[in-house]
Amino acid sequence: MMPLTLADPGEKNLIKKIGGSPDIKKHLEDLGFVAGGEVSVVTVAGGNVIVNIKETRIAISRQMAQKIMI
């Protein structure tokens, strides 16, 4: 298990766990980051991580991406 920030761009990954406080977990779940979901990193730009999840591109901070374990 490793944080999403270490994933190779373009590689599809399965989300295994979401860490952080209950507020952060809820926020990430609202964005579609749930255990068992598929996510891929598009690129890392200026401290943000752009990901594809549920056929949508979302930019999240590097700190948030660190809490998503794949």
pLDDT for res 45 = 86
pLDDT for res 46 = 84
pLDDT for res 8 = 92
For residue 50, the enclosing domain spans: 4-69
**Entry pTM:** 0.90
pLDDT for res 31 = 93
CATH (domain of 48): 2.30.30.90
Quick one: pLDDT band at residue 65, thresholds 50, 70, 90?
very high
Contacts of residue 36, defined as CB under 8 A and 6 or more positions apart, other chains included, come to 14, 15
- List, for residues 20-61, the tens digit of each pLDDT value: 999 999 999 999 999 999 999 999 988 899 999 988 999 999
Query: Please, is 6 exposed, middle or buried when counting C-beta atoms within 10 Å of its C-beta (0-12, 13-18, 19+)?
Result: exposed
Q: How many domains does the chain have?
A: 1
